[in-house]
C-alpha cells in the first residue's frame, strides 16, 4: 500500500512539474467550457486579421505568402505551451518582418532560396538568444531599447515600408535600395506606370481609408482583403496584366534543410540580437498591459522563453522571425477572449481557410498586398508623439529623430543599433554629470532649499550643505569632488563645515571610494568639519571599512540634514549670530 502511494505521489509530482514547464497543458486541463464560446469568437476575429497580415508581412520579410501562414501557425502552437499570458498573440509582425528582410537581403544576393534559408536561421538564432536570455534572466538588457528608440524605429520602418512598396503600386520595378536613389528611379519610370495596377492600388487605399472610418471594431484591411478575394474569383486580374499570388501548391509545411553556410553566421547573429531587443520589450509591455487589464500576473522570463520557443518553431517550418502583435492582441481582448485557447482557435480557422480558400488566395492581386503594406506604413507614422517629446525633452526627441533618419538612410539594423548607442551615451552622460544641489538654510529656519549655485547671500555663514543625485561611481566621482571643492573654495563664503546630504546616493563603487578617501582626509587636514546625513544602508555598508567610514565619527552622522544644521548652529552660535 505504501509502495502504491509512493508511486502515486511520484506520478503526481511529475505531472505537476510538467504543468509548470508547459503552462499550456494546464490551460487545457483546467479549461472551463463556459469560456469556449467567447474564445472561439475571439479566435475567428483574430483569424480574419491574421490572414491578410500574414501574407503581407511575409512579403515584407522576403518570403513567399505561405511562409506567413506557416509562421503564424507554428508560433501560436509553441507560444501557447510556454506562455504565462492569457491574451498575447504572437505571429508575423510588420516591424519585425521589416527587420528580417533587412537582415537577410545582403546575405541572399537576390536568390529566393538562399533568402528562405537565411531567414530560417535568423528565426532560430533569435529564438536561441531569447531562450538563453530567459535562462540567465537577462530580460533587463532589452530595456536598452528605450521608448524614443522604439518610436524612432517605428517611424523609420514606416517610411521604409512605404518606399519598398512604392514601385509595386505603380506597376514598375524599382531596383535601387536607398531612399533618394529609389525616388529618383521612380521619377524616371513614372511614364512606364501600369495604369490598371495603379487603379487597383488607389481603389484599395481609398477603401482602406473609408472602412477605417465606417468600421470601428475591425481593422479596415479585413473587409478590403476579402473584397479582393471575391473579386479575384469573379474577374481574371492576370488578363489585364496584374500579377497575382499564384498557385499555393501543397498545404503542408516542409521540413527544414540545414544547408546554410557558416560564413554568414556572424551577420545573422547580429541581426538576431537586434530582433531580440525589438521583440522582447514590445512583447513584455503588451503582455503586462493585458495582464493588468484582466487582473492576472505574468512572468517576464517565462515570456522570454515562450517568445524564443515560438521563433524556434517558425524556423522549423521554413518560417521567419515573429513577435507579439499589438493589433491582434488588443482584438483578442476586445472580442472577449479569455484564454490562450482563443489563439489556438485562430490557427484552426486559419488552417481551414488555407485548405478551403486556397484557390481564391492564388488569384489575389499582388498590388492588394502592396497597398495594405503601404497603408500599414502610413499608420505606423507617429508625428504627434515626436512633437510631444520635443516639447517636453528635446534631447530625448533627438534620439527618436536620429533613429528614424538612421533607419531610412543607413539601414534598419544599423539604425536600431545607432539609436540604442545614442540612448546609452546620453544615459552615461547623465550618470557622469548628474543633478546636484547646494542647499541653503535661511537663518532662523530648519528648512533647506535649492537656491542655485550663486544665490548664497542669505545662507548660514560657514556652512555648505551639498546634495548629489545619483550613485557615486567611477564616471562621476571626479565631478562630485570638483563641485564640492568649488563651493568650499568660494572666497566670498568661508566654510567651516561641509554637510553631505546622502539621501539620493544609493551606492558607492570601488573607484569612487578610492578617490573619496584622500579627498575627505584633505578636507579634515584643512580644518573643515565634515558631516553626513540621511545615508542609506547600502551606502553605509559599502563605506564600512573602506577608509571613508572612519572619517565620519558617530557624532558627525545624522539622521536628518536639519539635525546636522542645528548642531552646527549650536556649536558656532556666536559666529552665526554676528553675521
Which numeric CATH code is attached to 436-578? 3.30.750.24
Percentage, residues of the chain above pLDDT 70 = 85
Please tell me the predicted confidence (pLDDT) of residue 7: 53
Encode pLDDT of 139-194 as tens digits: 666 566 678 888 888 888 888 888 888 899 999 988 877 777 888 899 999 999 99
Angle at alpha carbon of residue 236, lines to 233 and 238, rounded to 5°: 130
> Domain map of the chain by residue range?
53-251+262-423, 436-578
Q: Directed axis angle between helix 265-293 and helix 300-316, to 10°?
A: 130
Residue 291's Cβ-side half-sphere holds a number of Cα atoms within 13 Å equal to 15
Candidate ranges 5-9, 113-117, 538-542; pick with highest mean pLDDT: 113-117
Please tell me the predicted confidence (pLDDT) of residue 405: 92
Please tell me the predicted confidence (pLDDT) of residue 544: 45
Encode pLDDT of 528-570 as tens digits: 998 888 877 655 555 544 445 556 767 777 888 888 888 888 8
Residues 6+ apart with CB under 8 A from 184: 176
Question: In terms of DSSP bridges, do strands 436-441 and 557-558 run parallel, antiparallel, or are they unpaired?
Answer: unpaired
| Average pLDDT score over residue span 249-264 | 54
Residue 325's Cβ-side half-sphere holds a number of Cα atoms within 13 Å equal to 27
Encode pLDDT of 413-468 as tens digits: 788 888 888 888 888 888 899 999 888 866 555 667 776 655 555 567 888 999 99
> Which residue would you say has higher pLDDT here, 1 or 469?
469
Cβ 376 vs Cβ 208: under 8 Å: no
Q: Mean pLDDT check: name the lowest of 258-272, 368-382, 447-461, 503-517.
A: 447-461
Percentage, residues of the chain above pLDDT 90 = 33
Give the confidence band of 113 by pLDDT, cuts at 50, 70, 90. confident
Encode pLDDT of 204-219 as tens digits: 999 999 998 998 777 8
Encode pLDDT of 51-87 as tens digits: 998 999 998 898 988 899 999 999 999 999 999 999 9
**510-515 CB contacts, 8 Å cutoff, 24+ apart:** 511/473, 511/474, 511/477, 512/472, 512/473, 512/474, 512/476, 512/477, 512/480, 513/542, 513/543, 513/546, 513/547, 513/548, 515/477, 515/478, 515/481
Please tell me the predicted confidence (pLDDT) of residue 183: 86
Please tell me the predicted confidence (pLDDT) of residue 145: 66
Please tell me the predicted confidence (pLDDT) of residue 281: 80
Residue 547: left (phi > 0), alpha (psi -120 to 50), or beta? left
| Average pLDDT score over residue span 495-502 | 91
What cell numbers appear for 467 in the block? Answer: 546634495
CA distances from 201 to 29, 367, 368, 556 (A): 48, 6, 6, 77
Report the b/e string of 507-531 with b at 16+ CB within 10 A.
ebeeebbebbbebbeebeeeebbbb
Q: Could you give the CA distance from residue 413 to residue 266 in angstroms, rounded to a whole number?
A: 14
Please tell me the predicted confidence (pLDDT) of residue 34: 93
Q: Alpha helices of 366-448 — where are they, by DSSP H?
A: 366-380, 383-392, 394-409, 412-432
Give the confidence band of 222 by pLDDT, cuts at 50, 70, 90. confident
Cβ 349 vs Cβ 63: under 8 Å: no
Using alpha carbons, select from 62, 128, 112 the residue that is nearest to residue 320: 62
Give the confidence band of 313 by pLDDT, cuts at 50, 70, 90. very high
Residue 487: left (phi > 0), alpha (psi -120 to 50), or beta? alpha
Give the confidence band of 42 by pLDDT, cuts at 50, 70, 90. very high
Q: Could you give the CA distance from residue 103 to residue 320 in angstroms, rounded to a whole number?
A: 11
Please tell me the predicted confidence (pLDDT) of residue 265: 82
> Which residue would you say has higher pLDDT here, 441 or 9?
441
Q: Could you give the CA distance from residue 485 to residue 453 in angstroms, rounded to a whole number?
A: 13
Q: Could you give the CA distance from residue 480 to residue 473 in angstroms, rounded to a whole number?
A: 10
Q: Could you give the CA distance from residue 465 to residue 478 in angstroms, rounded to a whole number?
A: 18
| Average pLDDT score over residue span 404-420 | 85
| Average pLDDT score over residue span 291-312 | 91
Check whether 571 has a pLDDT greater than 70: yes
Q: What is the chain's mean pLDDT, rounded?
A: 84
Q: Could you give the CA distance from residue 91 to residue 50 in angstroms, rounded to a whole number?
A: 9
Please tell me the predicted confidence (pLDDT) of residue 2: 55
Check whether 127 has a pLDDT greater than 80: yes
Residue 43 C-alpha from the chain's centroid: 26
Please tell me the predicted confidence (pLDDT) of residue 283: 84
Amino acid at each position: 500500500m505504501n509502495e502504491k502511494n509512493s508511486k502515486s505521489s511520484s506520478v503526481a509530482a511529475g505531472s505537476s512539474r510538467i504543468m509548470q514547464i508547459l503552462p499550456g497543458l494546464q490551460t487545457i486541463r483546467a479549461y472551463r467550457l463556459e469560456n469556449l464560446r467567447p474564445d472561439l469568437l475571439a479566435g475567428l476575429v483574430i483569424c480574419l486579421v491574421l490572414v491578410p497580415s500574414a501574407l503581407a508581412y511575409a512579403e515584407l520579410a522576403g518570403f513567399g505568402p505561405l511562409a506567413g501562414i506557416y509562421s503564424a501557425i507554428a508560433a501560436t502552437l509553441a507560444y501557447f505551451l510556454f506562455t504565462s499570458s492569457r491574451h498575447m498573440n504572437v505571429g508575423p509582425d510588420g516591424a519585425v518582418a521589416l527587420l528580417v528582410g533587412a537582415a537577410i537581403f545582403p546575405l541572399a544576393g537576390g536568390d529566393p532560396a538562399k533568402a528562405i534559408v537565411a531567414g530560417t536561421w535568423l528565426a532560430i538564432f533569435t529564438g536561441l538568444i531569447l531562450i538563453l536570455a530567459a535562462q540567465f534572466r537577462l530580460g533587463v538588457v532589452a530595456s536598452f531599447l528605450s521608448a524614443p528608440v522604439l518610436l524612432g524605429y517605428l517611424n523609420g520602418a514606416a517610411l521604409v515600408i512605404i518606399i519598398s512598396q512604392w514601385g509595386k503600386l505603380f506597376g514598375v520595378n524599382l531596383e535601387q535600395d536607398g531612399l533618394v536613389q529609389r525616388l529618383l528611379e521612380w521619377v524616371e519610370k513614372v511614364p512606364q506606370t501600369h495604369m490598371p495596377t495603379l487603379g487597383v492600388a488607389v481603389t484599395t487605399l481609398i477603401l482602406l481609408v473609408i472602412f477605417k472610418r465606417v468600421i470601428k471594431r475591425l481593422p479596415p484591411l479585413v473587409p478590403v482583403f476579402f473584397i479582393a478575394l471575391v473579386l479575384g474569383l469573379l474577374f481574371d486580374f492576370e488578363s489585364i496584366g496584374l500579377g497575382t499570388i499564384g498557385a499555393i501548391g501543397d498545404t503542408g509545411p516542409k521540413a527544414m534543410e540545414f544547408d546554410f553556410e557558416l560564413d554568414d553566421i556572424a551577420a545573422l547573429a547580429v541581426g538576431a540580437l537586434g530582433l531580440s531587443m525589438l521583440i522582447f520589450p514590445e512583447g513584455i509591455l503588451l503582455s503586462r498591459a493585458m495582464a493588468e487589464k484582466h487582473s492576472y500576473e505574468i512572468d517576464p522570463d517565462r515570456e522570454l522563453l515562450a517568445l524564443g520557443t515560438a521563433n524556434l518553431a517558425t524556423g522549423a517550418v521554413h518560417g521567419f522571425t515573429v513577435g507579439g502583435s499589438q493589433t491582434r492582441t488588443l482584438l483578442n481582448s476586445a472580442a472577449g477572449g479569455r484564454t490562450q485557447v482563443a489563439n489556438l482557435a485562430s490557427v484552426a480557422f486559419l488552417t481551414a481557410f488555407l485548405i478551403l480558400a486556397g484557390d481564391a488566395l492564388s488569384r489575389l492581386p499582388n498590388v492588394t498586398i502592396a497597398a495594405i503594406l503601404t497603408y500599414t506604413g502610413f499608420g505606423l507614422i507617429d508625428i504627434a508623439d515626436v512633437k510631444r517629446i520635443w516639447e517636453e525633452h528635446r534631447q530625448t526627441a533627438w534620439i527618436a529623430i536620429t533613429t528614424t533618419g538612421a533607419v531610412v538612410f543607413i539601414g534598419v539594423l544599423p539604425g536600431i543599433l545607432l539609436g540604442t548607442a545614442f540612448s546609452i551615451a546620453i544615459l552615461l552622460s547623465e550618470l557622469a554629470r548628474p543633478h546636484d544641489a547646494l542647499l541653503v538654510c535661511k537663518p532662523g529656519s530648519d528648512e533647506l532649499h535649492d537656491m542655485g549655485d550663486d544665490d548664497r547671500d542669505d545662507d548660514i555663514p560657514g556652512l555648505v550643505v551639498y546634495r548629489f543625485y545619483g550613485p557615486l561611481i567611477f564616471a562621476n566621482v571626479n565631478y562630485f569632488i570638483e563641485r564640492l571643492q568649488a563651493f568650499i573654495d568660494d572666497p566670498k563664503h568661508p566654510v567651516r563645515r561641509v554637510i553631505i546630504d546622502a539621501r539620493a546616493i544609493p551606492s558607492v563603487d570601488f573607484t569612487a571610494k578610492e578617490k573619496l578617501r584622500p579627498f575627505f582626509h584633505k578636507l579634515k587636514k584643512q580644518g573643515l568639519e565634515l558631516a553626513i546625513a540621511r545615508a542609506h544602508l547600502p551606502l553605509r555598508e559599502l563605506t564600512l571599512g573602506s577608509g571613508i567610514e572612519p572619517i565620519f565619527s558617530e557624532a558627525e552622522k545624522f539622521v536628518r540634514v536639519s539635525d546636522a544644521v542645528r548642531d552646527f548652529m549650536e556649536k558656532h552660535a556666536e559666529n552665526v549670530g554676528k553675521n
